[in-house]
Amino acid sequence: MTKNPLVKLIIIFVIVVVADQWTKYLALANLQLGLPVDVVGSYLRWTLAYNPGGAFGMRLGSSNAYLIISIIIFIVLCVYIYQNRRVGFIAIPLTFVSGGAVGNIIDRVRFGEVVDFIDCEFPDISLAGYEMQRWPIFNVADMAVSCGIITTILLILYQSRKEARQDAQIAGESDDTEVTSDAPKVSRD
């Protein structure tokens, strides 16, 4: 494998986009809209659906608004990834996010909405009038975006804690040095 971090990131990006588009192709070719096919009982099903909105089926604007916002986020991510391409702990998970974003952008350009097909059971949630009995139907791009964001957050938290420990250790060593250098000298005469 190449040592150039940008090439590695491009390979990851292409794998995410191809996996997303290939699985959506299979879903479109083999599933009927809204008719679930059990994979693991009712816990995991393939159910073809179209999502004109955003994450979790939220509709806060038109499909074109989501397309424009997605393109802007993708451009910002690309610039940030390029600037941090040598910082793998941040660049790699954000590359998954950008690959997922492009997978869904392709759908919005082709169909005007996003193709979803992975349908999972989830424990019922009832919170402040919001009810959810199944997880919203999603796709490989959504998984890449979600996993990339969660991984980025966890790695940033881990890295900041690691740096805080190192700073505390350095501060502790400098405190020890100061204490020994400022200590009065006792003569034994």
Q: What is the DSSP letter of 138?
A: B
Q: Is residue 184 part of a domain?
A: no
* pLDDT attached to residue 2: 63
Q: Where are the alpha helices (DSSP H) in 50-139?
A: 63-83, 88-111
Tokens 């420990």: give the residue.
Answer: 165
Q: Is residue 155 part of a domain?
A: yes
Alpha-carbon span 48 to 33, nearest angstrom? 5
* pLDDT attached to residue 28: 98
* pLDDT attached to residue 55: 73
In the beta sheet, which residues pair with residue 44?
A: 40, 120
Q: Is residue 166 part of a domain?
A: yes
Structural domain boundaries enclosing 75: 5-178
The number of folded domains in the chain is: 1
Q: Is residue 144 part of a domain?
A: yes
Q: Is residue 186 part of a domain?
A: no
Residues catalogued as catalytic: 116, 142
148 HSE (CA, 13 A, CB side): 24
User: What does residue 129 show for φ and ψ, rounded to 5 degrees?
Assistant: 85, -5
* pLDDT attached to residue 178: 53
pTM score of the predicted model: 0.81
Buried b vs exposed e over 8-34: b needs ≥16 C-beta within 10 Å?
Answer: bbeebbeebbebbbebbeebeeebeee
Q: Is residue 91 part of a domain?
A: yes
Tokens 């809209």: give the residue.
Answer: 33
Structure tokens at 117: 């097909």
Question: Cβ distance 57 to 50 under 8 Å?
Answer: no
* pLDDT attached to residue 141: 97
* pLDDT attached to residue 155: 93
Average pLDDT per run of 10 along the chain, which is 189 residues long?
85 98 98 96 95 78 87 96 90 97 96 96 82 89 96 92 80 62 51
Q: Is residue 62 part of a domain?
A: yes
Q: Is residue 189 part of a domain?
A: no
